[in-house]
Amino acid sequence: MSGKNFGFVIKAGRQIDIDVTDSTLADDIALEVGAWRACISCGSCVATCPAGISFRSELPTLNRAFQHNVELPTLKSCFLCGKCQLVCPRGIPTRYLSILIMQKLQSRKNVAEGIPSV
């Protein structure tokens, strides 16, 4: 990268590049469950999860949504038991969020593959 030297460097892997970041998925979900932005990454959900999913780290992944192809494969092992919801100090409906994220991902995949939504 050419240009002026400002005295600090931004590594490519750590920058949020608006050109390749797609926040529409995160925004869509926030429209329905605004509470998910209230996550403070306390980790209570992770501590109680019987499936060993780190929900708190899924949310930033979703927020960054690099290059349109965000995938949250760990949610496929979610039991939907709702324990994370009961322990969440911020009252985030994590169980519904889990469903909603998968729903949105699925419909995106369907659109990409040309499958009509039911």
Partner 1 sequence: MLQKVFHPFDPFVLLFTIGFTFMGIYFLYKVIRWIEKLSEEDKELLINNIFTVKTWQALGETIQESLLHKRIFGVNRRLGFMHMSLAFGWFMLILIGNIESIYYSGRFFKPIFVSVFWRFFDPGASFPKAVYLPGFAFWMDFFLLLVISGLTLAIIKRFRSQWLGLKRTTRQRPVDRFALTALWLIFPIRLLAESATCGVNGTGSFLTGTLGHLMASSLSLEPFVLPIWWSYSFVLMVFFLCLPFTRYAHIPSEAVLIFFRKYGIRVSKESPGFTDLSLHACSSCGVCIDVCQLADSLPDRRIQSNYFIKALRYKEPSNVQWDCLQCGRCEKICPVELEIMPLRQISRKDMEIGSKATISGHNGRNGQKHRILYFAGCMTHLTPSVIRSMTTIFEQSGSSWYFYDSDGKSCCGRPLKLAGQIEGATSVREQLEADFLASGAELLVTSCPICYRMFKEDFVLPGITVLHHTQYILELIEWNRIKVNPSMLKGAYHEPCELGRGSGVTSEPRKLMSKLYQSDATPLIDGLCCGGSLGGPGLALATRRAVARSAFNDITLGKPDVLVTACPLCKKSFAPVSDIPVLDFSEAVVRSLILEPTQPESHRALKSSREIPVTAL
Q: Does 66 bind partner 1 (CB under 8 A)?
A: no
| Selection from 67, 69, 73, 99 nearest residue 84 by Cα | 99
| Interacting residues with partner 1 between 23 and 62 (CB under 8 A) | 48, 50-52
CA–CA distances in Å: residue 13 to residues 10, 40, 65, 66, 90: 9, 24, 14, 11, 30
Can residue 96 be called a binding residue for partner 1 (CB under 8 A)?
yes
Per the CB < 8 A criterion, the answer to whether 35 and 43 are in contact is no
What is the amino acid identity at position 118? V
Which amino acid belongs to residue 46?
A: V
Closest to partner 1 by CB, 60 or 82: 82
Q: Does 82 participate in binding partner 1 (rule CB under 8 A)?
A: yes
Query: Of 5-13, 16-24, 63-71, 73-81, which part binds partner 1 (CB under 8 A)?
Result: 73-81
Q: Which residues bind partner 1 (CB under 8 A)?
A: 48, 50-52, 73, 75-83, 86-87, 91, 93, 95-96, 98-99, 102-103, 106, 118
